Structure 1
Amino acid sequence: MARTKRFKINGDVGYYHVISRTVGGEFLLGDVEKEKLLSVIKQFNSLYFVNIIGYCIMDNHFHLLVKTLSVEDIDNVELKERLSRHNKNIPDEITESEIIKYKEKLTDISEYVKSIKMTFSRWYNKKNNRKGYFWGDRFKSVLVESGESLLNMLAYIDLNPVRANICSKPEEYRWCSFSDRLAKSNDDFLSFEGTEIDRIEDYISFIYGVGKVERKSYKGAEKGKISEDSRPEISLWQHRIRYFSDTLVIGSKGFIEYAYKTFEDKITKKERRAHKIPIDLPHNLYSIRRLNSI
């Protein structure tokens, strides 16, 4: 079987939508498992230089929306502090070449997701006296442009349980970043970095709106609730859109052209087009890959 194609901006800032499924798509993630997986994600968030923008943990898969930091922006003192918190055997003196290797590893999206999945699967197998793989194929990732593209991706991820008919409102689902933010229980775990918004009120307005941020404060948002009389209809993100999970790059036309130049060794000349995503938005989104259905 061919390996899942993946585009990574190694050593530099990048935004990624990560999706990973259980082996065979089995529904192995119950309430206890979801809580454990979330704790593992938080555990490695304090080691890796990766910021969590959004997440959603479902019964047979999980989504992460993350920002990887640049190697050049990592402070050596903070690097050593993170390493010592997670590994008591780290020596006091680390050579320059070792520092470079650690920085490269701890900003790598593949290493980050690998650590999460391996740690969780070991816990699950031990808990259930089980052997074998827990996760299915390689995780998928979509490189996302910051700004409106990233904000739309975040809303799409948070509305997973609504699309799955688990709930009618995203704040009712315990294991997604939307309800986490409303509950104010994330302890700076979540960030709005790259989305061009910084207030939960603006995000509520967006996710319940029609694709643009209305500068409107919803009643009860400060208390983690949204009143019925101030809640408009949920937007078109109630419907599954394959481009948000099955393509390789999403963004403006210029961002797609940048990706073609950056990853030219991985893309055939025949593929080099910016494909407009056929969904109704105030701004156009483009993909590096055309899909047969949205």
Structure 2
Amino acid sequence: MTTARSQLISVEATPYYHCVSRCVRRSFLCGYDEFTQTSYEHRREWVEKRLKRIATVFCVDICAYAIMSNHYHVVLHINKEQAYRLSNHEVIERWLTLHRAPVLVQRFLNSESLSETDQKACLTLIQTWRERLCSISWFMRLLNQYIASAANREDNCTGHFWEGRFKSQALLDEKALAATMAYVDLNPIRAGIAATPETSRFTSVKARIKSLRKEQVTAPSLFPFAGKPSDTTPEGLPFYLADYLELVDWTGRQIRGDTSGHIQSPQLSILERLGIEAGAWLTVCTRIEKCTLVGSDTAIQTALPLFNRQRRTALQIP
């Protein structure tokens, strides 16, 4: 049975979510179709550009992404506080970047005289847009609709392009966030289409490495790494970039199927800080998509009431 979105997304429980969208039947999002001898590789750039474009408008941050041949992964951070700090005019400006302005809003922007009823209607509409700007459902909707329309135009066909609604998983703590981001960034390596993180095209880890090589602190349109959380650190992911890159590289070398034996590797600082045992970590990093909640036993138990749920369809991280 399909789970209601209200039982999958709760900002009170966690602002971090892993989302996946897959194409229907034999449809190709990207990649090369051997059956029809058609290349869809150029569509990876469509998804990446649209993803980053929407992120500049919404108060939803991109933590990680990977664009595969018939699906894509994205880890998102809901920045509700940012949405509610925006002025009414800032909300309108952001929303109209991707939509046409209703006549009532045009009159509001032009400082025309509005009746009390029209003014209330306009403010209600702005509040609706404010809530949508920090909504993962609306974020994914605008991404998927755009890609589906572009792909159907190119294929000269109509009908569903995506396999129903997107799948989402709540990431309840730092361990779940780190494991899922690594899982997403390592998708091309597990699929055998890339040898290393720095050569895995159309992934967030490659984008971060590219920016690092250009001596940029943060990759454009991606949620930055802020290090260990404290009152003085800027808003961002609760890890250091160097630790995360080392973690991705280490994890990828352990789970590659073309390597025999176990690669001896020193324990990583991020693993030590999060208190994760290496064997348990590898198990988690190969089973991420098996559930709707990811986190420690304590985090899962705490979050269940916030999602109005009693059953534990969750992946527990030791």
The aligned runs of 1:20-169 (5 Å cut-off) are 20-24=21-25, 26-29=27-30, 30-70=40-80, 73-76=84-87, 77-87=89-99, 89=101, 90-91=105-106, 92=109, 95-169=122-196
Task: Please list every run of at least 4 consecutive aligned residues from structure 1 whose deviation after the TM superposition is greater than 6 angstroms.
Answer: none
Q: Deviations over 1:204-229 (max 9, x none)?
A: 212123674369xxxxxxxxxxxxxx
Match of 1:241 in 2: 286
Instruction: Report % sequence identity.
Output: 26
User: 2:209 is matched with which residue: 154, 157, 182?
Assistant: 182
- TM-aligned CA deviation for residue 275 of structure 1: 6.1
Distance (whole Å) between structure 1 residues aligned to residue 14 and residue 155 of structure 2: 38
CA RMSD of aligned residues (A): 3.0
Change beyond 3 A, Cα 1:250–1:12: closer
Distance (whole Å) between structure 2 residues aligned to residue 27 and residue 238 of structure 1: 30
Where do 5+ consecutive residues of structure 2 fail to align? Answer: 31-39, 112-118, 226-235, 252-266, 272-279
Distance (whole Å) between structure 2 residues aligned to residue 238 and residue 261 of structure 1: 27
Aligned residue for 2:45, secondary structure, equals: helix
8 Å Cα contact 1:20/1:136 also seen in 2 = yes
Match of 1:15 in 2: 16
- TM-aligned CA deviation for residue 250 of structure 1: 0.9
Where do 5+ consecutive residues of structure 1 fail to align? Answer: 216-234, 278-283, 285-294
User: 1:202 is matched with which residue: 231, 243, 266?
Assistant: 243
8 Å Cα contact 1:156/1:237 also seen in 2 = no
8 Å Cα contact 1:159/1:237 also seen in 2 = no
Change beyond 3 A, Cα 1:170–1:239: farther
Change beyond 3 A, Cα 1:208–1:272: closer
| Counterpart code for 2:269 | V
Q: Deviations over 1:36-69 (max 9, x none)?
A: 1111112211222110000000000000000012
| Counterpart code for 1:241 | T
Q: Which moved more, 1:144-153 or 1:53-62?
A: 144-153
- TM-aligned CA deviation for residue 86 of structure 1: 3.0
Aligned residue for 1:23, secondary structure, equals: coil
- TM-aligned CA deviation for residue 19 of structure 1: 0.5
Match of 1:3 in 2: 2
Distance (whole Å) between structure 2 residues aligned to residue 19 and residue 5 of structure 1: 16
Distance (whole Å) between structure 1 residues aligned to residue 70 and residue 282 of structure 2: 20
8 Å Cα contact 1:148/1:196 also seen in 2 = no
Match of 2:277 in 1: none
8 Å Cα contact 2:57/2:133 also seen in 1 = yes
8 Å Cα contact 1:155/1:237 also seen in 2 = no
Higher gyration radius (CA)? 2
Distance (whole Å) between structure 2 residues aligned to residue 187 and residue 100 of structure 1: 31
8 Å Cα contact 1:18/1:142 also seen in 2 = yes
- TM-aligned CA deviation for residue 239 of structure 1: 9.1
Q: Structure 2 length as normaliser, TM-score?
A: 0.70
User: 1:256 is matched with which residue: 300, 303, 307?
Assistant: 300
| Counterpart code for 1:162 | I
Match of 1:224 in 2: none
Match of 1:219 in 2: none
Q: Deviations over 1:231-285 (max 9, x none)?
A: xxxx97599723x123111112222112211123xx34xx2597635xxxxxx1x
Q: Deviations over 1:115-140 (max 9, x none)?
A: 11011111111122121111112211
Q: Deviations over 1:178-223 (max 9, x none)?
A: 1111111885211145642243x222212123674369xxxxxxxx
Aligned residue for 2:72, secondary structure, equals: strand
